Structure 1
Amino acid sequence: MKNRNIPFGYQYADGVITVNPTEAETVKAICDAYLGGQSLLTISKQLNEQAVEYMPGVTGWNKARLMRILEDRRYLGTDAYPVILDEAVYEAIQSTKTSRNTQKGTDRSTDIYKLETPVLCPKCGAEMHRRHDSRCKCNQRWFCTNRECGELIVVADENLLPQITELLNIVIADPDRIKIPADTEIKSDIEILKTENEIGRTLDSVEFDKEALRRKMLRCLSLKYKSIDHTTYTIKKMKADLEKASPLSDFSASLVARTVKAITLNTDRSVCLTLINGQIIRKENEDHASSHNPTDAA
């Protein structure tokens, strides 16, 4: 197998090491994907599928090659190499790499890994990702995925999940607090009006093709069905789920998935739930639910 004599991302120009623009963009894309949570195996597969060349005529991306790129300090502008990555990105990569290494042997059958509802940052509203670090006193911490924000909240799973359960129990105890909008009327558009007029003219005629009329009526019904706002139905279904539910003694990932649109993790390690109808449920505000956006809950 061929070997490069210069790091990926660079090239020689008149005997001087310069940035290879195309390869440098790939380096940055690799870093972004890794920081975004993708595994080295996934990234290497994508690069090979896209036929991204590691060297002229050579692809063959693998985890070892990617790790060399992620660990190479020369991208910071050392040893006469031009800068491709800034220090903050490089340090974030090393921190992520260390964090992932500490998650080996983690039991992924526990309830926290069943939580599919997005957890949002209280400062910027971006999604947060959970990291497990067995070296720390509190093993669990949540990172904001927005690099410009960088919020970090340390909260143990055994404190987070019971809070979510407690807030759901507040609504289970009083489902009538769920606000259901008035049924939305069918919005007549040009196609619906046109079809209705055609049906009317057909019925006014002395003789008409019954099969053709039946097709027009079915089309009209189909158009009207597509124009219905299904929000009300979804909210009513959520309320019915809560009415049927018994008070929870343990975390229920399935009920959270059916009723909660987002979870905001506050800086004091408390949480609030944004239900699928936009209402926000907080411990300190359990006498009523607000209808602000998730980012307003901070």
Structure 2
Amino acid sequence: MAWQRKTPFGYMVRGGETVPCPTEADAVQNIFTRYLAGASFGRIAEEMSRGNIPYHQHTSQWNKHMVKRILENGKYLGTDVYPRLISDEEFLAAQIQREDKTDYAPCPAALNPVREKAVCAVCGSRIARDTKSHGRPRWVCPDCGAIVHISDEEVQKRISHRLRHLADTPDLLTQPPIPEAVPSTDALRIQNELNLCFNRPDINPDYTKTLIFAAAAERYAVLPDLTPVHDMEALRERLETGPVSDSNLRELLAKAVKAIRIGGQDYIELELTNGTMIGKEQTT
């Protein structure tokens, strides 16, 4: 169990009364000053450890929790027992700054699929949501530096609106282009070796069989995955024949949307797997 001081740091008992300890009281003032200047708990703890002013008699090493306790201690404002060490203005400023640094907005679970596909509308790189601006959600592109301030509710509203438009016009869900199966270099080499084997008078059956299986495996490896094509067609048929549900919208986001472009002026556009763009012509 950690050892705790009986008398708060900054004070000492003399003649039965609690009075300021000169060195510790100066350290308290310095901690508030450094914190208000932007130093972190950890940085202040390192400085205090080098300053040869122990937090208590059992160790000269400080940690961020010790610094935090000092910054939160209302006794430094003065009470019937403890003399004032810190002004009201300094203490209040420290509390406001501490709340700003710890204030954040957790990302709603509903935004997780959006974050996976969000890209910067300026440069096309991945864009990330954070809440470093006093807890207000924003989207930041680490590549071009673009910053978009938009609430989580507005992001969800606009994406839902575009998905609803897409569900109401399933003709937009044309099949994505099927990539061409291009044989690999190894496949060409194996096929050449197989052709040579067939032209030899002394064919080695086991070696030829190995080459045939290897050639088939290489051809299979480059065959395009048609799952997205089938998924798109099945989804389109369901939307054409039945009512649109929230489940349909989630499936659209998962299977039909390739990227979500986020930019300034609350700009949000959906890029479908077939290359169609949803958003520029839509209003919210």
Distance 1:225 1:210, change over 3 A: same
- Which residue of structure 2 lines up, in the alignment, with residue 129 of structure 1? 129
- Which residue of structure 2 lines up, in the alignment, with residue 195 of structure 1? 190
- Which residue of structure 2 lines up, in the alignment, with residue 257 of structure 1? 254
Confirm or deny that 1:280 pairs with 2:266: no
- Taking the aligned partners of 1:96 and 1:150, their CA distance within structure 2 comes to 27
* Aligned AA (1:168): L
Confirm or deny that 1:101 pairs with 2:103: yes
| Cα displacement (A) at 1:272 | 1.0
Contact 2:113 2:254 in 1 (8 A): no
- Which residue of structure 2 lines up, in the alignment, with residue 146 of structure 1? 142
| Cα displacement (A) at 1:196 | 1.9
Distance 1:187 1:125, change over 3 A: closer
| Cα displacement (A) at 1:236 | 0.9
Distance 1:102 1:259, change over 3 A: same
Give the secondary-structure state (helix, strand or coil) at the position aligned to 2:116.
coil
Confirm or deny that 1:242 pairs with 2:241: no
Distance 1:109 1:273, change over 3 A: closer
The alignment-based identity, stated in percent, is 15
* Aligned AA (1:122): A
Distance 1:267 1:281, change over 3 A: same
TM-score, scaled relative to structure 1 = 0.48
| Cα displacement (A) at 1:167 | 1.9
Give the secondary-structure state (helix, strand or coil) at the position aligned to 1:168.
helix
Deviations 1:56-87 (A, max 9, x none): xxxxxx9939x99xxxxxxxxxxxxxxxxxxx
- Which residue of structure 2 lines up, in the alignment, with residue 11 of structure 1? none
- Taking the aligned partners of 2:222 and 2:97, their CA distance within structure 1 comes to 49
* Aligned AA (1:121): C
Alignment root-mean-square deviation, CA: 4.4
Distance 1:242 1:173, change over 3 A: farther
| Cα displacement (A) at 1:220 | 0.8
- Taking the aligned partners of 1:260 and 1:96, their CA distance within structure 2 comes to 41
Structure 1 residue ranges without an equivalent (≥5): 1-39, 41-53, 56-61, 69-93, 287-298
Contact 1:274 1:281 in 2 (8 A): yes
Counterparts of 1:25-174 in structure 2, within 5 Å, are 64=64, 98=100, 100-103=102-105, 110-113=109-112, 115-126=114-125, 127-131=127-131, 141-146=137-142, 149-157=145-153, 159-174=154-169
| Cα displacement (A) at 1:181 | 5.9
| Cα displacement (A) at 1:140 | 5.1
Confirm or deny that 1:269 pairs with 2:266: yes
Distance 1:272 1:200, change over 3 A: same
- Which residue of structure 2 lines up, in the alignment, with residue 3 of structure 1? none
| Cα displacement (A) at 1:205 | 4.6
Structure 2 residue ranges without an equivalent (≥5): 1-40, 42-48, 51-61, 69-95
Larger Rg computed on CA atoms: 2
